[in-house]
Homo-oligomer: A and B are copies of this chain.
Amino acid sequence: MFITETLIRVRYAETDQMNVVYYGNYAQYFEVARAESIRNLGLTYKEMESAGVMMPVVEMQTKFLRPAHYDDLLTIKTIMRELPVDHRILFEHEVFNQEKKLLTLGKVTLYFVKIGSFEKTVMPETMRNLLKPFFPEIN
């Protein structure tokens, strides 16, 4: 299992007139958390795109349990439970506020595809090698 945590400060722009973070903005928080999760491995999503692989999102599920507010310092926990075996990769997210209250749950499935052709591919070898130590059971 590969788990990382990312801090995000809620922007004014992200609130709506309900005085809470607009529900559509969590997708951005998940994106930032995924990118930081990958950066923690020692590579960047940007480098992956430069190497010809991109990761479009194909499915997302979100549960909104409690609202986040302006200036909250959110902790986004990102969990990869299984090492991908094909073109799919699943990230789970848990969003907590500064009082450790669980606000939101997310599950985001992405594909590995080749830039240009949009053809399905698998996780780049570099990324797989960096992830392997977190999944000792598969060796």
A: residues with CB less than 8 A from B are 9, 11-13, 15-20, 22-28, 31-32, 35, 44-46, 54, 56-65, 67, 70-71
A20 and B62 contacting across the interface, CB-CB below 8 Å:
no
- B70:A17 contact, CB within 8 angstroms: yes
**Given the complex, which residues of B lie within 8 Å of A65, measured CB to CB?**
58
How far apart sit A113 and B135, CA to CA, in the bound complex (Å)? 44
Q: Smallest Cβ distance from A46 to chain B, in angstroms? A: 4
Could you say which of B13, B54, B67 contacts A24, with CB atoms under 8 Å apart?
A: B13
Total copies of the chain: 4
CB distance from A78 to the nearest CB of B (A): 15
Q: A27-B23, A31-B24, A71-B44 are in contact. Are A56 and B18 (CB under 8 A)?
A: yes
Assess whether B17 is in contact with A19, with CB atoms less than 8 Å apart: yes
Chain B hits for A64, CB < 8 A: 56-60
Known: A56-B67, A64-B57. A31 touches B17 (CB 8 A): no
Write 11 A-B pairs (CB below 8 A) sorted by A numbering.
Answer: A9-B32, A12-B31, A16-B16, A20-B56, A23-B27, A23-B56, A24-B24, A24-B26, A27-B27, A35-B71, A56-B64
* Cβ A16 vs Cβ B13 within 8 A: yes
Q: Are B58 and A63 in contact (CB under 8 A)?
A: yes
Q: Which residue of B lies closest to A19 (CB)?
A: B17
Q: Shortest Cβ distance from A7 into chain B, in angstroms?
A: 11
